[in-house]
Amino acid sequence: MSYKIAFISLGCAKNLVNTEQMMALCRAAGHTVTGDPEGADAAVLNTCGFIESAKSEAIDNIIQLGELKQAGKLKKLLVAGCLSQRYPDEIRAELPEVDGLLGTGSYTDVAAAVEALMAGERPGYFGDIHRTYEDGERLVTTPPWTAYLKIAEGCSNGCAFCIIPKLRGKYRSRSPEALLAEAKKLADSGVEELIVIAQDITRYGQDLEEETSLARLLRELCRLDFRWIRLHYLYPEAVTDELIETIASQPKILHYLDIPIQHCNDAILARMRRRNTKAELSALFAKLREAMPDVVLRTSLICGLPGEGETEFEELCQFLREQALQRVGVFQFSPEEGTLAAAMEDQVDPDTAARRVELVVDLQSRIMDSHNEARLGSVMEVLCEGFDAEEGCYVGRTYADSVEIDGRVLFTAAGLVPAGAFVDVRITGTCDGDLTGEIEE
Ligand code: SF4
């Protein structure tokens, strides 16, 4: 029996890759896959569940899909991913619209789970979350010129505020052979921008029998026919000189580095169980800027971790003023049950934490504006992502802009510019964090 199965992917790009694998598995099992749940036999909602806001988003989606079921526009609902892994009993008890559950160790059971659902069962698949990563086909859902390459699953870093290791298991690198085969397929299919992801890409290969490294993998990936290779989620303490040399010397690897630091105050970093100090972070950023003067640094921060007083917070703000990082994502501390930080003393009042997030956002938007202003008059290579009718111009990204999380370039051109093409754009203005410009004929 062939079913029409809708897929909805929430959360991070690593979760999206799992969704793409599940779509390929269902198609291989003879089912039809779609992105629209209306009129489908079953919907698979691949959830995120690591902080409060992500949990709320997942529950909102479940309720909406439940309403579709009530309206007779959807038959069954399978909830997969981190929320299922974390709260199976609560979902069963409190969300009756959910017909089946798929944990993070059971993505490859998706077709069997859907078939069980359609047969009237209420399955729950919860495989071992530490098991060896299962390679497999993907139905790539990103635009044809961009694709993610997930090089490992899980995390063993054990940050005090983070529940991910309990949801995704210990760190497991994928084999270089499987990665290069997948990357080659992506390059042959026309992908120009390869985005390398994992919970922590810098640990790549350390757990493999035949030990290898991220630097070695990157050198191999650079042999393939990509234009851009972009790196996300580098753990600061694990950025080696060999890795820096590889990034600086390989033209395809973008001088755009996403290095989550979470904070800069030494006592807070120790409480977070992060393995670096402010001095080491400053030294790393200085070393990267020396090796690559045009490097764009992105980071993630948490405000309101227990023990963070006004002094520690002001130290963070001063660090941001001094370092002038181009891209910063800032989150309010979320006391997640099952983490060390949730049980810590000196919890910070949530309103205070929220105010601190706002202050960092303000500070950072001024820093980003000055970086953007420094681009005025320059000519930058832009990956065109199509014509935006609302903006009335073309939209694209530079090496300094990753997918969905950074700025854009809005530009005009006399002729037609195909989506996926690389063009040179003269930057003539800035607007709400974006750059504006005209194509350099
Ligand atoms: S590095 Fe830390 S914050 Fe990131 S996934 Fe691992 S434990 Fe969580």
Helices (H), 189-232: 214-221
Alpha carbon nearest to ligand 1 atom 5, residue: 199
Domain boundaries, the chain: 4-125, 146-373, 379-439
Find the range with the poorest average confidence among 74-83, 132-141, 213-222: 132-141
- Residue whose token pair is 């960092």: 360
68 lines ligand 1 (CB under 6 A): no
Distance, in Å, from the CA atom of 36 to the CA atom of 8, rounded to the nearest integer, reads 8
Rounded to the nearest angstrom, the distance between the alpha carbon of 228 and the centre of ligand 1 is 26
- Give me the mean pLDDT over the 239-256 stretch: 98
Q: Is 254 touching ligand 1 by the criterion CB < 6 Å? A: no
Task: Determine phi and psi for 231, rounding to 5 degrees.
Answer: -115, 130
Right CATH number for 146-373 from 3.40.50.280, 3.10.129.10, 3.40.50.11540, 3.80.30.20? 3.80.30.20
pLDDT value, residue 441: 74
Backbone angles phi, psi at 132, to 5 degrees: -55, 140
Written as one string, the DSSP assignment of 318-344 is HHHHHH--SEEEEEE----TTSTGGG-
Asked whether residue 414 carries a pLDDT value surpassing 80, the answer given is yes
* 79-108 confidence digits (pLDDT tens): 999 999 999 999 999 999 999 999 999 999
Examine the pLDDT at 76 and tell me if it is beyond 90: yes
259 touches ligand 1 (CB under 6 Å)? no
Burial of 398 (0-12, 13-18, 19+ CB in 10 A): buried
**Over pLDDT 70: what percentage of the chain?**
100
pLDDT per residue over 328-386, tens digit each?
999 999 999 999 999 999 999 999 999 999 999 999 999 999 999 999 999 999 999 99
| Residue from 167, 200, 271 whose mutation best tests the ligand 1 pocket (most atoms within 8 A of CB) | 200
Q: Is 3.40.50.12160 the CATH number for 4-125?
A: yes
Tell me how far apart the alpha carbons of residues 379 and 63 are, in angstroms, rounded to a whole number.
48
pLDDT in tens, 12-62: 999 999 999 999 999 999 999 999 999 999 999 999 999 999 999 999 999
The vertex-51 CA angle with 46 and 53, nearest 5°, equals: 80
Q: Which fold has domain 379-439?
A: OB fold (Dihydrolipoamide Acetyltransferase, E2P) (2.40.50)
Nearest CA to ligand 1 atom 4: 199
pLDDT at 272: 98
> Would you say the CB of residue 159 lies under 6 angstroms from ligand 1?
yes
Contacts of 294 (CB under 8 A, 6+ apart): 255
Residue 210's pLDDT is what? 84
Index of the ligand 1 atom closest to the CA of residue 168: 5
340: Cα separation from own chain's centroid: 24
- Could you tell which of 150, 159, 261, 300 is best to mutate to test the pocket of ligand 1, judged by most ligand atoms within 8 Å of the CB? 159
How far is ligand 1, taken at its centre, from the CA of residue 320, in Å?
Answer: 21
User: Mean pLDDT, the chain, as a whole number?
Assistant: 97
DSSP string, 112-175: HHHHHHHTT---EE---TTSPP--------S-TTEEEEE-EE------TT--HHHHH-S-EEPP
Q: What is the pLDDT of residue 244?
A: 98
Mean local confidence (pLDDT), 205-233:
96
Ligand 1 within 6 A of 23 CB? no
pLDDT of residue 133: 76
Q: Is the pLDDT of residue 389 over 80?
A: yes
Determine the distance separating the centroid of ligand 1 and the alpha carbon of 391, expressed in angstroms.
38
Residue 371 makes CB contacts below 8 A (sequence gap 6+) with 324, 326
pLDDT of res. 209: 86
Q: Which of 104, 162, 300 to mutate for ligand 1's pocket (most ligand atoms within 8 Å of CB)?
A: 162
Using the mean position of ligand 1's atoms as its centre, give its distance from the Cα of residue 163 in Å.
8
The verdict on the CB of residue 146 being under 6 Å from ligand 1 is no
Helix (H) or strand (E) holding 188: helix 176-188
Question: Ligand 1: distance of its center to the CA of 223 in Å?
Answer: 30
Q: Single out the residue of 439, 368, 380, 436 nearest to residue 405, CA to CA.
A: 368
For position 136, what pLDDT does the model report? 85
Dihedral angle computed from the Cα positions of residues 176, 181, 182 and 188, in that order, rounded to the nearest 10 degrees:
140
Ligand 1 centroid to Cα of residue 297, in Å, is 19
Residue 347 DSSP one-character state: P
The CB-side HSE value for 293 (13 A sphere, CA atoms) comes to: 0
Percent share of the chain, pLDDT over 90: 98
193 strand-pairing partners? 146, 228
Nearest residue to 304 (alpha-carbon basis) of 258, 359, 259, 366: 359
Ligand 1 atom closest to 161 (CA): 3
Compute the average pLDDT of residues 4-14.
97
pLDDT tens-digit readout, 125-183: 999 999 977 788 999 999 999 999 999 999 999 999 999 999 999 999 999 999 999 99
